[in-house]
Amino acid sequence: MARRSASASAEPTLPGLPRASARLLVLSLLTSLRPRQWTKNLIIFAGLLFGQRLTDPASIGRAVAAFAIFCVLSGVVYLVNDVVDREADRRHPVKAKRPIAAGELSARAALTAAVVLGAVGLASAYALGVPFGHVALAYLALLALYSGPLKHIVIVDALTIAIGFVLRAGAGAVAIGVPISHWLLVLTVQLALFLALAKRRHELVQLAGQATNHRASLGEYTPDLLDQLLAIVAASTLIAYAIYTISPETVAKFGTDWLGLTLPFPIYGIFRYLYLVHRRADGGNPSETLLADRPLLACVALWGLAVIIIIYVRPFSA
């Protein structure tokens, strides 16, 4: 009786694996999907906000579905990237702790999960709409290429990351059927390029003389070069945003010329990020930097609130 009772109360495990091993496998897989990085997919909601669909329940539902699908697809990209980079990651002080590099998750298990999740993600994307599915497929293909040869080509590596964000933003607009604003694409690529260059600078400074051992393309960068590129991109991002807020096209679309009041938020946000990069040696992980730094998080939240009030409440309209 005791044996039968113990067997009945036992928790199910994966076939052929002890319970502890199954739990470790699932935990390692979830960690490798990097859920903390999914905040990057919030750019998908830009089309909902600036497409003036924030009060439309159907559009909100489709945007949430698009966000979930891209979380799955970005997880697939992280799995493939970690498998390809596992040897280099083992020589990195932080990345060596990733499950695949640490040997907690096998390359075979990771790739199997990537294939399954990729198929589910793409099927869901096409179910949401063929145009959205095409964008999702382009995103997955581009980032797969980034995990291969593109990340080893200087400048192209940062541009590829930036284009990935543009595809996310475009996917959000396509998912709810609103026109893709040229301004949205320009600002997205500039801001994403800024974050990618800041990440490269962090890696270069953190690894010092060992940078080329982790990735050969890092040897093509220098802190001075990256500082110049960051200054150019930061300035062009702020100028483009300022022009966007007061352009006749924007004023006509939203029925107000007060969107320029939000300009102090991106100015502070970019300056704060540069401060963290240069004075706190941060910026290696933009998602974690955003979530961990309260002033930066508050800046983003207040910017979003200000945009919503000006576009949807229109307190300054005639």
| Residue 215 pLDDT | 66
Which range of residues forms the domain containing residue 70? Answer: 24-180
Torsion sign over Cα 210, 211, 214, 215: negative
- Tell me the C-alpha distance between 236 and 262, whole Å: 17
Together in a domain, 151 and 247: no
The pLDDT value recorded for residue 151 is 87
Are 205 and 276 part of one and the same domain? yes
CA distance 70 to 191: 19
Contacts (Cβ under 8 Å, ≥6 apart) of 69: 121, 124, 125, 128, 136
Q: Are 82 and 199 contained in the same domain? A: no
Whether residue 105 sits in one domain with residue 247: no
Rounded distance, CA 105 to CA 100, Å? Answer: 5
Quick check: 204 and 226 in contact, CB under 8 A? Answer: yes
Residues 39 and 118 in one domain: yes
Integer angstrom CA distances of residue 257 from 148, 169, 238, 294, 300: 45, 24, 17, 30, 21
Asked whether residue 42 falls in the same domain as residue 171, the answer is yes
- pLDDT value of position 273: 92
Q: Who's near 142: CB < 8 A, 6+ residues apart?
A: 160, 163, 164, 167
pLDDT values of the chain reduced to their tens digit, one per residue, 318 residues: 444 444 333 434 445 555 557 778 888 899 999 988 888 899 999 999 999 999 999 999 999 999 999 999 999 999 999 999 898 888 877 788 889 998 888 999 999 999 999 999 999 999 999 999 999 999 999 999 998 889 889 999 999 999 999 999 999 999 999 998 888 889 999 999 999 998 888 888 777 656 556 666 777 888 899 999 999 999 999 999 999 999 999 999 998 889 999 999 999 999 999 998 888 776 667 777 888 889 999 999 999 999 999 999 877 654
pLDDT of residue 269: 95
The sign of the dihedral angle between the CA atoms of 65, 289, 188, 47 is: positive
308 and 176 inside one domain: no
- The distance of Cα 263 from the centroid of its chain, to the nearest Å, equals 23
Q: Are 84 and 148 in contact (CB under 8 A)?
A: yes
In the prediction, which pLDDT does 213 show? 60
Structure tokens at 78: 């992280």
Instruction: State the residue for tokens 């200087």.
Output: 154
Dihedral Cα 140, 142, 144, 148, nearest 10 deg: 180
CATH number (domain holding residue 104) = 1.10.357.140
User: Maximum distance among all alpha carbons in the chain?
Assistant: 81
Query: How many domains does one find in the chain?
Result: 2
